[in-house]
Amino acid sequence: MKVFLISDNDDTMVGMRLAGVEGVIAHDAYKFKLELGRAAADKDIAVVIITEKLSRGFPETVRAAKLDKNLPLIVEIPDRHGTERKPDFLTHYVREAVGIKI
């Protein structure tokens, strides 16, 4: 199983390639939808990594891809500028999903 990156900047792409992750750069909706569709259709790809900035630019496309299939798993990561999420986003997410306070 492979991991694939869809990024909006060169720095994230270079860093992930150094780690052995292949990917593409997408700046517009057409390219993003095209590459996400290709990655979803490839049976060898188990995880698609998307930069947070890119996923915020096309939230409906990302949401539809997450709900459409079980694989590939879609993961959003911060880029070199960091994240805009709250510091407790993970505990908040778990609290909502599981229903218990941790």
Count Cα atoms within 13 angstroms, Cβ side, for 67.
6
Give the whole-angstrom CA distance, residue 64 versus residue 6.
16
Q: 77 CB contacts (<8 Å, ≥6 apart)?
A: 12, 49, 50, 51, 52
**Count of domains forming the chain:** 1
Query: Residue 32 belongs to what domain range?
Result: 2-98
pLDDT in tens, 16-43: 899 999 999 998 999 999 999 999 999 9
Band (3; pLDDT cuts 50, 70, 90): very high
CATH number at residue 47: 3.40.50.10580
Band (100; pLDDT cuts 50, 70, 90): low
pLDDT in tens, 41-93: 999 999 999 998 888 888 888 888 888 777 788 888 887 666 666 666 566 66
pTM of the model: 0.77
